[in-house]
Amino acid sequence: MNPAISIALLLSVLQVSRGQKVTSLTACLVNQNLRLDCRHENTTRDNSIQHEFSLTREKKKHVLSGTLGIPEHTYRSRVTLSNQPYIKVLTLANFTTKDEGEYSCELRVSGANPISSNKSISVYRDKLVKCGGVSLLGQNTSWLLLLLLLSPSLLQALDFISL
């Protein structure tokens, strides 16, 4: 085999395997609905990434949404999915203590050697934060850190404090 073809094939496989890595999974409440944000890398050029959101409760896995498994009928009417380039957002309507458990987001790249990546999070109703500006800032620590670093300089420039 031509070495140039081998290198091109290896680079394309590496790019695809890197392109589906789940970077974080977070949970919060919007009114009475559970919101799961599955953030991921996306360096693939096509839509070969398959996904699955699931709930494991009492050692039993329940598929909520996705293209890997068949979603259970009891969840289909309560689940909505928003799919964007770097984030998949699942909303489970009317979240109750019966829905508590281990939630997972799995991504898999199709092909001869499928590669998967997943993250899980334990979700309990009384420990969930409300989705909103403060919780979103907390999840994006780079903005919060920048704000904290700039605050003294801005306050000094506006003559609110003197250092």
Q: pLDDT by residue for the chain (163 residues), tens digit each?
A: 555 444 433 334 443 344 478 899 999 999 999 999 999 887 665 556 789 999 999 999 999 999 988 999 999 999 999 988 889 999 999 999 999 999 999 998 776 677 789 999 999 999 999 998 544 444 444 545 445 555 666 556 556 555 5
Q: In angstroms, what CA-CA distances link 141 with 5, 23, 93, 138?
A: 42, 14, 28, 6
Q: Which two tokens stand for residue 154?
A: 């801005």
Report the distance separating Cα 78 and Cα 99, nearest Å: 11
pLDDT confidence of residue 43? 65
Model-wide pTM > 0.85: no
pLDDT confidence of residue 18? 46
pLDDT confidence of residue 97? 94
The backbone torsions φ and ψ at residue 57, rounded to the nearest 5 degrees and listed phi first, read -140, 130
pLDDT confidence of residue 83? 87
Closest by CA to 91, choosing from 108, 103, 106, is 103
Report the distance separating Cα 24 and Cα 9, nearest Å: 29
